[in-house]
C-alpha cells in the first residue's frame, strides 16, 4: 500500500470530503480521488459509500482507518527521529491554535521563533481548541497551542503556558453593574452571550453554574471571544471573558463566590517524537510563562 494513498484516505475519512482533503493535502480533487481509487483497487474493496454529495466509510474503510493511522504515525515518527539526528532546526512545523490565542498570545513568540530559526516552515491552522486537540491526537498536527481541556485525551500531553483567569463582564450601563451584590442567581436572571456548548471554556462556565444548581439564560452562542466582547460592549447581554479582555466598554462584574480559571498552553502527542523545530518552539513558549508558574516538561517518548 502506497503511503501517499493511505494519507489521502485518512484525510478524506477525517474530513468527510474529497474537496476538503484535497485542500489539506495541497492537491487537486481528481488527484485525491485517483489515490483512493488506487487503494481500493489494491485492496479489492470499496472504502467509501458515496450517497449524493456525502460520503461515509464502509465496514472495510473503518477497518482500514485504524491500521492506516498506526502506519502513518510510525512512518512520521521514524522520519522525525532521523531528521532530529542532524540537530538542525528546520523543516515543516505543523501547528494548530485558536483565533484568540493567535491574536493575543502568539505574535511575539512567533516573531522570536522565525527570526531565530528561519529554516523552519511554519504551517499554522486556526481552529477551535477542541478540534485542535483532536488533530494532535490523530497525528495530523504536531502541536497545538490552545485552551487546555480539563480532562485531556489519554494520548495527549498538556502543559500550561499562560494562566488565563475568566471573569463575568457586562457593558458599563448594563443593569447588572448597578447591583449592590451579585451572585450566580442574579446573573441567571439576565440574558447571556456565551461560548458554544461543548467548548472547553463553556464547560468551565457550565460547571460553575451547575454546582449552584442554576442554568444561565443563554440568548446567543459563538466561539469567537472577540465577537462576544463586541456584543457585550453594546449591551446585548453579559458574558464570561478572560480578564485581559476587560476595559474599553467592557467591565468586570464582581460576583460573590465565583472564581473561574482556564489554562492556555501546549498540547502534544504522548507517544510521538517531537521534531527539533517543535522542541525549539516549545522552549520559546515556556519563556512566555509568568514568574511563579511551573511548566512541566513532557516525558520522553518510550
Residues 6+ apart with CB under 8 A from 262: 147, 148, 164, 165, 166, 200, 201, 204, 242
The answer to whether position 192 is within a domain reads yes
Indicate whether 143 and 93 sit together in one domain: yes
Q: How confident is the model at residue 210 (pLDDT cuts 50, 70, 90)?
A: very high
Distance CA 147, CA 262 (A): 7
How many structural domains does the chain have? Answer: 3
Cell triple for 284: 520559546
Indicate whether 74 and 31 sit together in one domain: yes
Is 90 exceeded by the pLDDT of residue 179? no
Indicate whether 181 and 229 sit together in one domain: yes
Q: Which of 262, 278, 297 is the last residue of a domain?
A: 262
Distance CA 238, CA 166 (A): 13
Residue 267 forms beta bridges with which residues? 144, 158
Q: What is the pLDDT of residue 139?
A: 85
Indicate whether 110 and 66 sit together in one domain: no
Indicate whether 99 and 124 sit together in one domain: yes
Is 90 exceeded by the pLDDT of residue 220? yes
Q: What is the pLDDT of residue 289?
A: 58
Is 60 exceeded by the pLDDT of residue 302? no
Q: What is the pLDDT of residue 288?
A: 76
Q: How confident is the model at residue 43 (pLDDT cuts 50, 70, 90)?
A: very high
Indicate whether 228 and 105 sit together in one domain: no
Q: What is the mean pLDDT of residues 239-266?
A: 93
Q: Are 12 and 48 in contact (CB under 8 A)?
A: yes
pLDDT tens track for 85-138: 888 888 889 999 999 999 999 999 999 999 999 999 999 999 999 999 999 998
Q: What is the mean pLDDT of residues 217-226?
A: 94
Task: Count CB atoms within 10 A of the CB of residue 98.
Answer: 28
Q: What is the pLDDT of residue 74?
A: 85
Task: Count CB atoms within 10 A of the CB of residue 81.
Answer: 12
Nearest CA-CA partner of 102 in 139, 138, 129: 129
Distance CA 16, CA 26 (A): 16
Q: How confident is the model at residue 15 (pLDDT cuts 50, 70, 90)?
A: confident
Distance CA 108, CA 286 (A): 13
Indicate whether 158 and 196 sit together in one domain: no
Indicate whether 273 and 157 sit together in one domain: yes
The answer to whether position 180 is within a domain reads yes
Look up the CATH number of the domain holding residue 122. 3.40.190.10
Q: How confident is the model at residue 66 (pLDDT cuts 50, 70, 90)?
A: confident
Indicate whether 279 and 209 sit together in one domain: no
The answer to whether position 295 is within a domain reads no
Instruction: Give the global pTM.
Output: 0.77
Indicate whether 184 and 252 sit together in one domain: yes
Look up the CATH number of the domain holding residue 17. 1.10.10.10
Domain, as residue range, for 40: 3-82
Distance CA 22, CA 208 (A): 42
Please work out, in degrees rounded to the nearest 5, the angle formed at the alpha carbon of residue 169 by the alpha carbons of 166 and 170.
170
Amino acid at each position: 500500500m502506497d503511503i501517499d494513498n493511505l494519507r489521502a484516505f485518512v484525510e478524506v475519512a477525517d474530513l468527510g470530503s474529497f474537496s476538503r482533503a484535497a485542500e489539506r493535502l495541497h492537491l487537486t480533487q481528481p488527484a485525491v480521488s485517483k489515490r483512493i481509487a488506487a487503494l481500493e483497487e489494491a485492496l479489492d474493496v470499496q472504502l467509501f459509500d458515496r450517497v449524493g454529495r456525502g460520503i461515509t466509510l464502509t465496514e472495510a474503510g473503518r477497518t482500514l482507518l485504524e491500521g492506516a493511522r498506526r502506519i502513518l504515525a510510525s512512518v512520521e515518527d521514524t522520519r522525525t527521529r532521523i531528521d532530529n539526528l542532524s540537530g538542525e532546526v528546520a523543516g515543516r512545523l505543523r501547528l494548530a491554535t485558536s483565533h484568540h490565542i493567535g491574536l493575543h498570545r502568539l505574535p511575539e513568540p512567533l516573531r522570536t521563533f522565525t527570526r531565530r530559526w528561519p529554516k523552519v516552515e511554519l504551517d499554522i491552522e486556526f481552529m477551535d481548541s477542541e478540534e485542535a486537540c483532536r488533530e494532535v491526537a490523530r497525528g495530523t498536527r504536531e502541536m497545538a497551542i490552545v485552551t487546555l481541556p480539563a480532562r485531556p485525551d489519554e494520548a495527549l500531553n498538556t502543559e500550561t503556558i499562560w494562566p488565563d483567569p475568566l471573569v463575568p463582564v457586562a457593558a458599563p450601563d448594563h443593569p447588572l453593574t448597578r447591583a449592590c451584590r451579585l451572585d450566580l442567581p442574579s446573573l441567571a436572571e439576565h440574558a447571556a452571550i456565551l461560548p458554544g456548548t461543548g467548548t472547553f471554556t463553556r464547560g468551565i462556565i457550565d460547571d460553575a453554574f451547575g454546582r449552584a444548581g442554576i442554568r444561565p439564560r443563554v440568548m446567543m452562542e459563538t466561539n469567537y471571544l472577540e465577537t462576544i466582547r463586541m456584543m457585550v460592549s453594546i449591551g446585548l447581554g453579559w458574558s464570561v471573558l478572560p480578564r485581559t479582555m476587560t476595559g474599553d466598554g467592557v467591565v468586570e462584574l464582581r460576583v460573590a463566590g465565583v472564581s473561574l480559571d482556564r489554562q492556555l498552553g501546549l498540547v502534544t502527542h504522548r507517544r510521538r517524537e517531537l521534531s527539533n523545530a517543535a522542541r525549539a518552539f516549545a522552549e520559546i513558549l515556556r519563556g512566555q510563562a509568568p514568574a511563579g508558574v511551573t511548566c512541566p516538561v513532557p516525558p520522553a517518548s518510550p
